[in-house]
Structures are given as C-alpha cells and as structure tokens.
Amino acid sequence: MSAVLILAGTAEAREVATLLADCGDVSASLAGVTARPAAFPVPVRTGGFGGADGLGEWLVRHGTKAVIDATHPFAAQMPWNAEIACRRANIPRLRLLRPEWPAQPGWIPVASFAEAASVLPAGARVLLTTGHGGLDAFAARRDVSFTLRSIEDVGPLLAHITPLRARPPFRDADETALLARIGATHLVSRNAGGTGRAKLDSAAAAGVSVVMISRPAVPPGPVAENAVEAVAWLAGTVAKRS
Ligand code: NAP
C-alpha cells in the first residue's frame, strides 16, 4: 500500500492512521485549527491546501493513490474540495462518516444554525454544544440565555452568552448536573453522531427539549461508517488498481 492521504480532524481519522501505521507511505493532514492536537501514528502535514486546486496539486505532486476523507461530519468545505480534486486527478476517495444519532421523539429537527436560533422561545435557557459555529445567529437572540460549551476559547461574547470551556468525554452524571445548574430548557446540538451522546440522554431524562441540527450534504461517492470499513475499502481499491 502506498501514498495514502487521510484528511483528519476526527477520532476516526486517528483510528484509520493506527490501522495503517505499518503499511508504508501513509500520511495525515490536519487543518491546524486545534491548538494541541494529540499525536498521530503516521506523518502529519498541517494547514489548508488552498482549495480544491491546491489539494489537487498536492495529491499529484505526492503521487497519492487514495484519499480517505475522515474530516468531521460538519466539515462543510473539505469533503467537496476532496471530491473535486480526486475526481479531476482520478484518485479514489472515500468519505468516512460515522452514523448519525437516530432521531428521538420530541427532538426539534432543524437544518441550520439560523433555524435553530429561530425555533427557541423567548426566555429559553439553552445549552449550546455547537462550538463557535453559528454564533451570529444565537447572538441575535438577546431574549434567550445561552451557555456555550466549547473546547477552544471562543473569544469575547455578548452578555447573554456565557462561555464554558470543557473537553469531552462528558459523563451522564456531569451532563445532568450541568443542565440542572444552568436551569436548561433547551439543548442545541449538531447531529455529529458517535460517542458523545450523554448530553442527549441526560436532556431526555430531564425533560430538556433538544434542537438537533442536521448534517451538511455529503459529496457523491463511497462512504464508510468506521475505520475498519475504510481500511477494507482501501485494500479493495488498491487491489483493483494494481
Ligand atoms: P471545512 O469547512 O470543511 O474546511 C475549511 C478549510 O479548512 C478547508 O477549505 C481547508 O482549507 C481546511 N481544512 C479542513 N480540513 C482540513 C484537513 N484535514 N487538512 C488540511 N486542511 C483542512 O472544515 P471546518 O469545519 O473548518 O473544520 C476544520 C477541521 O477541523 C476539519 O479537518 C475537521 O475535520 C475538524 N473538525 C471540525 C469540526 C466542526 O465542527 N466543523 C469539529 C471537529 C473537528 P483549504 O481550502 O485551504 O485546503
């Protein structure tokens, strides 16, 4: 196996890298947005490529044979850049996308941050677990109090948005205590899927309404749900081309 690029930024990207660590010329790419990313078992390059064109040039220059796009389910741009670059250069590409959380009774499904902000009733007390995304939409709702939980510092905020720096994983008991402490009436979450669903279970148990933002569109092409499936796709792809 040679010249595989993993577009990283998720736990699944790290899992693929771990599975491929002994397979030769495999590298990973990070956007460089996290201050102290955890160590990777394969070489890592950091920073944007300069759009689909820049990525395409990089892939050709490095003789890339396959791309595994393991960026976050809410990474809106990179999957499309990868689709365009790989299609033009005729390089096989896989989207690695963990399953969504299945909808629960009572969830309020919305398609965007703006829609999430618009469905909150006046006077709501909201736990926002959407990072810094969509902050403008929530900032405009001065009739609602927000607690914004994020891993990284989000900078200065308006008075009705209280920052809460915290790093997952979050346990059920902690989520229950947090929702009670802030008197939450609503939880706003993106449907990231994966292991971080304690907040959803705690909200359901506490009668807190869940506003769930759906994922952005996925580019056409093969999709794997986990690292093992991605490695199987890679093996099949490389076998077909050799
Ligand atoms: P995005 O909108 O898809 O990407 C924005 C730009 O960041 C891309 O156009 C690209 O710049 C650069 N980029 C993104 N992923 C990259 C990668 N793996 N390697 C090199 N450059 C990359 O993504 P985003 O929402 O800003 O997220 C940035 C990164 O953080 C992604 O890798 C994502 O997996 C990770 N992340 C995102 C979230 C989230 O909620 N969005 C959560 C956890 C982790 P160029 O056009 O210059 O190449």
Task: Identify whether the C-beta of residue 103 lies closer than 8 Å to the C-beta of residue 126.
Answer: no
Q: How many CB atoms lie within 10 A of CB 133?
A: 15
Query: Does 7 sit in the ligand 1 pocket, CB within 6 Å?
Result: yes
Q: What is the H or E stretch that residue 19 is in?
A: helix 11-20
Gap between the Cα atoms of 231 and 99, Å rounded: 17
Residue 15 identity: E
Q: How many CB atoms lie within 10 A of CB 214?
A: 14
Instruction: Report the pLDDT value the prediction gives residue 1, as an integer from 0 to 100.
Output: 39
Measure 34 CA to ligand 1 centroid, in angstroms: 10
pTM of the model: 0.94
Instruction: Report the pLDDT value the prediction gives residue 191, as an integer from 0 to 100.
Output: 97
Q: Report the residue among 7, 62, 78 best suited for mutation to probe ligand 1: largest number of ligand atoms under 8 A from its CB.
A: 78
Measure 78 CA to ligand 1 centroid, in angstroms: 6
Question: Whose CA is closest to atom 8 on ligand 1?
Answer: 78
Measure 7 CA to ligand 1 centroid, in angstroms: 9
Handedness of CA 55, 82, 34, 5 (dihedral sign): negative
In Å, how far are 8, 128, 203, 216, 232 from 143, measured between CA atoms? 38, 15, 22, 28, 51
Gap between the Cα atoms of 40 and 157, Å rounded: 33
Measure 182 CA to ligand 1 centroid, in angstroms: 31
Query: Does 78 sit in the ligand 1 pocket, CB within 6 Å?
Result: yes
Gap between the Cα atoms of 75 and 210, Å rounded: 22
In tens digits, what is the pLDDT along the chain, a chain of 242 residues? 359 999 999 999 999 999 999 988 999 999 998 777 788 999 999 999 999 999 999 999 999 999 999 999 999 999 999 999 999 999 999 999 999 999 999 899 999 999 999 999 999 999 999 987 789 999 999 999 999 999 888 888 999 999 999 999 999 999 999 999 999 999 999 999 999 899 999 999 999 999 999 999 999 999 999 999 999 999 999 777 77
Instruction: Report the pLDDT value the prediction gives residue 200, as an integer from 0 to 100.
Output: 97
CB burial string 159-193: b at 16+ within 10 A, e below: eebebeeeeeebeeeebbebbeebebbbbbbbbbb
